Amino acid sequence: MAELLLLALGASLVNHFAVTSLPGLRPVSGPGDRVEAAAAMGVAVLCVLPLASGIADIVARAVLAPLALGNLDTLVLMLLVATLATLADTLLEYARPRLHERLRAFAPLLATNCAVLGVGFVRIEQRPSLFESFGYGAIAAGVFAFVLVLFTALDERVDASDVPRAFRGAPIALVSAGLVALAFGGLGTR
């Protein structure tokens, strides 16, 4: 349990730094909406990752196994993740143009998150059946969504406080992430 939580925390930390430090990716408009942007990202991952890992599993079983190309399944997952992320981006633009306009560079960010979670968690489980790979994808995405929203809300509060200049920005985000990781560490099961 703790491993998945720490993996999700790592992915959300990467996502957080990409969004806050690269001006191109920072969600447009007021500070209060960073949590909303994180929620949108979380939901997108929840849609893309299970689908990607499920299809990757089908492709692996139907195409790669007969051709003895089992070791290509991670690459196939990457391809699927990239495709579905772009599809999700167009879908979001179609469904919520205002939200899409505010979340700049949404597709690459979504793709990297799914890739990190996909490779990190879905792959290491030796999933015998299709349903399990879909299930693991969903669990990983769900935990990631919760941790990302939680961490974004925490960072929003820490940013608003009078942090010393030496800690402002990335350092304090790392300190709070470290403390959250410390707390997740305590949840390790026997």
Q: Which is nearer to other proteins, 14 or 153 (CB)?
A: 153
Compute the least distance from the CB of residue 164 to other proteins, in Å. Answer: 6
Report CA 24 to chain centroid distance, whole Å.
19
Q: Which of 131, 139, 127 is nearest to 45 (CA)?
A: 139
Sites for other proteins among residues 46-75 (CB under 8 A): 59, 63-64, 67, 69, 72, 75
The interface mask with other proteins, positions 105-144, x = CB under 8 A, is: ----------------------------------------
Measured at the alpha carbon of residue 92, what is the angle toward residues 89 and 96, in degrees to the nearest 5?
A: 150
Report CA 187 to chain centroid distance, whole Å.
21
Q: Which is nearer to other proteins, 131 or 169 (CB)?
A: 169
Q: Please tell me the distance from the alpha carbon of residue 91 to that of residue 108, in angstroms, as a whole number.
A: 15
Compute the least distance from the CB of residue 115 to other proteins, in Å. Answer: 15
Place of tokens 């919760």: 146
The interface mask with other proteins, positions 71-110, x = CB under 8 A, is: -x--xx--xx-xx--xx--x--xx--xx--x--x------
Q: Please tell me the distance from the alpha carbon of residue 129 to that of residue 9, in angstroms, as a whole number.
A: 27
Report CA 100 to chain centroid distance, whole Å.
17
Compute the least distance from the CB of residue 166 to other proteins, in Å. Answer: 9
Question: Tokens at residue 54, please?
Answer: 């499920």
User: Is the CB of residue 137 less than 8 Å from the CB of residue 53?
Assistant: yes
**Which chain residues interact with other proteins by CB under 8 A?**
23, 26-32, 35, 59, 63-64, 67, 69, 72, 75-76, 79-80, 82-83, 86-87, 90, 93-94, 97-98, 101, 104, 149-151, 153-154, 156-158, 160-164, 167, 172, 175-176, 179-180, 182-190
